[in-house]
Amino acid sequence: MDINSFFEKKIGDGRDTLFWKDIWIGDICLKDRFPRLFRLENNQEAYVKERIHDSNGSRLFTWNWTREVTGRVLGELNQLKTLIISNITLSEGPSDWKWILDNSAIYNSKLVSTKIDALTIQRLGQSQETMRNNFIPRKINIFVWRIVRGRLPVRA
């Protein structure tokens, strides 16, 4: 279960998001999506703000390649530019995380618990809901849940 899929990163001005190494567009980092371009990058620790600028309603890119981009790599560069232009809007201020599990955009622990239960029960092929006892400490509830599900870490 990928807990990160419950959140979406809003870039802001890009000053605190690594261009190549953070997951900020799609579900994979750009260094893995465009490995040839990443190898040509002179500064692999560059931030989004260093590579993308909005000026007078148009998007400008600033690259720092170790050599000229040609051939197949040029095609990757054009794909990257298209991906960024069609999916990213820069705004003022730092990056932020948006809760996407429901439309309210407000984090709700009960909703997360329900979602985790649903995914876990689905995976286990069970149809019963996880039972909790509010009169005993939380860590005891978790311990019992692990025993019942056979998920108690033990040394073999």
pLDDT digits (tens, 9 = 90+) for 32-47: 999 999 999 999 999 9
Of residues 63 and 118, more confidence is placed in 63
What percentage of the chain has pLDDT greater than the value 90?
29
Burial class (CB in 10 A: 0-12, 13-18, 19+), 50: middle
- pLDDT for 30 beyond 90: yes
Cα 18 to the chain's mean position, in Å?
A: 13
C-alpha–C-alpha distance, residues 32 and 20, integer Å = 8
Q: Using the predicted structure, report yes or no on whether residue 98 has a pLDDT greater than 70.
A: yes
Taking only the tens place, the pLDDT of each residue in 112-127 is 777 777 766 655 555 4
* Whole-prediction pTM: 0.60
pLDDT digits (tens, 9 = 90+) for 127-154: 455 566 677 788 888 888 888 888 888 8
pLDDT of residue 122: 55
Cβ atoms of residues 10 and 97 within 8 Å: yes
